[in-house]
């Protein structure tokens, strides 16, 4: 027993200075952050951590006192989270998401984005042609509640008024923005969530969304209000439709991974597509929020057609450069 106590005392005396040094550095990091450490101290900390791990292994192997083992276990656990865990603040993490993670995830889905956009555009063209030939087709693509009186039975004066008059006054715009944000977010979430079913539900949602767009434009074009309706729609539609298209691309990526996992296992392929898609979807929610503000406020407050197209062009340029513009290599 005396020999064991002597061994424990010698073991502690030989290594305790390093443990205390490690504990001091960790306390400074936990209290003030890693930026308060000098470059030499940042290099020293992993070395001290590995020494503490070695001490813990020896202490367990030769059955030293339980208190020492528990102390070393706690010290190593604290060190592990600094050495291998995240060391960025919330602000830094958000900045990294906006600056790198989100645009990289979107660029990785460029093929799916083209397919998603093509489905919506094709549906819009076909629906536009159908409604121009026979206005009754309008009711097949746009629900009555969503039309809000904008249907083939409405007068030209009423349709023109909906493009320029405030909706229930300025105060009502808050409610409108909230409703449209919720509605479009649901479409985007469904497009992503249902993508695992071999892309089919996602493709159907993209076609449905495009068909509604084509029917709406055909209705106004029939009254010689196509240019005016385009400005009314695109002031927010560039951001909104792009967000829905990206959500569809994320869903299609999921479905494609289920059907064709490639060299990886199906579970691994779906997991990789799901993580990338989740990053895209977080960004889509941000885009839909911006679109909701533009739709509920800017569209009603900006009345000039040229100004509306100017806002639409500015948003298109911004998103195009943000996602696909040249970037400095890391």
161, 304: one domain:
yes
Region of poorest pLDDT, from 73-77, 128-132, 170-174, 233-237: 170-174
Whether 83 and 110 map to the same domain: the answer is no
Helix locations, 134-265, DSSP H = 138-141, 144-147, 156-164, 173-193, 200-221, 226-259
Residue 182 resides in a domain: yes
Instruction: Please check whether residues 174 and 53 belong to one and the same domain.
Output: no
Q: Residue 304 carries which DSSP code?
A: -
Higher pLDDT pick, 84 / 138: 138
329 in a domain, yes or no? no
Domain contains 157: yes
Same-domain status, 298 and 204: yes
Same domain for 156 and 104 = yes
Domain boundary residue among 35, 62, 87?
87
Q: How far apart are CA 132 and CA 215, in angstroms?
A: 9
The residue from 35, 52, 87 where one domain ends is 87
Same domain, 121 and 260: yes
Residue 38 has pLDDT above 90, yes or no: no
Report if residue 330 sits inside a domain. no
Count up the domains in the chain and report the number: 2
Tell me the mean pLDDT in the region 119-127. Answer: 97
- Does residue 310 share a domain with residue 177? yes
* Helix-strand-coil split of the chain, %, nearest 5: 85, 0, 15
Do 187 and 275 lie in a common domain?
A: yes
The per-residue pLDDT for range 210-238, each reduced to its tens digit, is 999 999 999 999 999 999 999 988 998 89
pLDDT confidence of residue 134: 94
292 CB-contact burial (10 Å; exposed 0-12 / middle 13-18 / buried 19+): buried
Whether pLDDT at 74 is above 60: yes
Q: What is the percent of the chain where pLDDT is above 70?
A: 88
d(CA 81, CA 164): 57
Spatial distance between the Cα atoms of 73 and 77, rounded to a whole number of angstroms: 6
Last residue of a domain, one of 87, 117, 146: 87
How far apart are the C-alpha atoms of 112 and 248, rounded to whole Å? 8
List, for residues 251-275, the tens digit of each pLDDT value.
Answer: 999 999 998 888 888 888 888 999 9
Q: Are residues 178 and 246 part of one domain?
A: yes
- On whether both 82 and 97 belong to a single domain, the answer is no
277: pLDDT strictly greater than 70:
yes
The residue segments making up the domain with residue 43 are 2-87
């Amino acid at each position: 027993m005396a020999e064991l106590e002597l061994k424990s005392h010698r073991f502690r005396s030989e290594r305790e200075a390093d443990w205390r040094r490690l504990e001091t550095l960790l306390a400074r990091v936990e209290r003030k952050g890693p930026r308060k450490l000098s470059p030499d101290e940042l290099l020293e900390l992993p070395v001290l951590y590995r020494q503490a791990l070695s001490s813990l292994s020896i202490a367990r192997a030769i059955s030293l006192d339980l208190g020492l083992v528990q102390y070393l276990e706690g010290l190593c656990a604290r060190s592990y989270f600094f050495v291998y865990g995240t060391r960025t603040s919330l602000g830094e993490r958000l900045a990294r998401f906006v600056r790198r993670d989100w645009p990289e995830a979107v660029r990785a889905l460029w093929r799916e984005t083209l397919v998603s956009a093509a489905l919506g555009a094709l549906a819009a063209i076909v629906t536009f042609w159908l409604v121009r030939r026979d206005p009754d087709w309008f009711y097949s693509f746009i629900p009555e509640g969503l039309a809000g009186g904008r249907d083939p039975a409405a007068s030209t004066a009423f349709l023109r008024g909906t493009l320029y008059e405030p909706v229930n006054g300025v105060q009502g715009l808050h409610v409108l923005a909230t409703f449209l944000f919720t509605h479009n977010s649901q479409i985007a979430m469904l497009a992503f969530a249902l993508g695992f079913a071999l892309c089919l539900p996602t493709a159907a949602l993209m076609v449905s969304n495009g068909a509604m767009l084509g029917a709406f434009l055909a209705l106004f074009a029939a009254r010689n209000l196509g240019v005016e309706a385009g400005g009314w729609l695109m002031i927010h539609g560039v951001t909104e439709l792009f967000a829905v298209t990206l959500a569809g691309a994320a869903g299609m990526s999921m479905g494609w991974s289920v059907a064709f996992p490639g060299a990886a296992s199906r579970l691994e392929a779906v997991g990789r597509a799901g993580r990338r898609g989740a990053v895209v979807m977080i960004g889509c929610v941000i885009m839909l929020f911006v679109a909701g503000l533009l739709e509920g406020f800017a569209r009603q407050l900006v009345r000039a057609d040229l100004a509306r197209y100017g806002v639409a062009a500015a948003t298109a340029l911004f998103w195009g450069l943000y996602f696909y513009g040249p970037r400095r290599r890391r």
